[in-house]
């Protein structure tokens, strides 16, 4: 082993709200997500296809209450549409604003907390916090793939314990910190919790391992690389996430 077991364990505990007593952290394999009623416009480049509706002036599936929390300067939104309040299944869509309209530039199957979503997230509840959060820092076990966000590569901090199931060994190859209960501008594994430890923390976008997480949002490796190369601090990226009903409310 390249790193000591204790150092790997300490790093893993700080990530994704992981508790060492919950080995299946951040867990039933599916080959595709159920996109349900998520409207999609255009192809991967965001270009409208013949016969499709015009791109929306704001992203679909988001109600006024949640939309009001999106900063006016934001031109990139990572939307995570959860299948249900208690479901670990979701779909992640990247929207980018060109001119005055939003275009979907990518869509991937995703997973959220294994027990679903929470509007009052607590440490260890195995749910993902609902809300609108900025995206400001990235990192991972692997070298920077060309991230526009500040990127911290650290083999020690992002190494999962070898005692974990093999499916989890690559969870933190790439991560993007979701600015829930953390201080933006610090590396993703920074332990500072402004709202207190009881409110949890270490909520990341990271590589998918086939099922629900302890609170993070996980996507395929191709999606993580695309997000890292596309999300630009100049566009004030945010994530809007929750189950579909709550997002529409």
- State the catalytic residues: 206, 216
CA distance 43 to 96: 13
Contact 128, 141 (CB under 8 A): no
Q: How many CB atoms lie within 10 A of CB 5?
A: 11
Contact, 233 vs 122, CB < 8 A? Answer: no
The angle subtended at Cα 184 by Cα 84 and Cα 46, nearest 5°, is: 55
Name residues whose C-beta falls within 8 Å of residue 53's C-beta, 6 or more positions apart in sequence.
39, 41
- Residue 245: CB partners within 8 Å, gap ≥ 6? 84, 85
**Whether the Cβ atoms of residue 230 and residue 142 lie closer than 8 Å to each other:** no
């Amino acid at each position: 082993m390249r790193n000591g077991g204790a150092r790997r364990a300490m790093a893993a505990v700080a990530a994704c709200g992981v508790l060492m007593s919950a080995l299946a952290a951040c867990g039933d394999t599916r080959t595709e997500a159920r996109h349900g009623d998520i409207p999609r416009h255009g192809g991967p480049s965001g270009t409208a296809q013949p016969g499709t509706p015009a791109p929306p002036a704001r992203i679909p599936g988001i109600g006024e209450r949640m939309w009001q929390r999106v900063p006016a300067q934001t031109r990139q939104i990572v939307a995570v549409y959860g299948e249900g309040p208690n479901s670990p299944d979701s779909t992640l869509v990247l929207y980018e604003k060109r001119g005055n309209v939003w275009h979907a530039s990518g869509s991937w199957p995703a997973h959220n907390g294994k027990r679903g979503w929470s509007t009052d997230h607590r440490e260890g509840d195995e749910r993902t916090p609902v809300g609108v959060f900025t995206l400001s820092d990235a990192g991972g076990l692997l070298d920077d793939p060309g991230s526009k966000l500040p990127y911290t590569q650290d083999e020690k901090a992002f190494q999962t314990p070898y005692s974990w199931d093999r499916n989890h060994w690559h969870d933190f190859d790439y991560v993007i910190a979701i600015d829930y209960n953390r201080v933006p501008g610090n590396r993703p594994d920074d332990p500072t919790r402004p709202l207190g430890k009881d409110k949890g923390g270490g909520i990341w976008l990271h590589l998918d391992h086939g099922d629900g997480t302890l609170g993070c949002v996980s996507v395929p490796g191709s999606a993580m690389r695309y997000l890292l190369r596309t999300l630009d601090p100049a566009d004030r990226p945010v994530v809007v996430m929750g189950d579909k009903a709550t997002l529409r409310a």
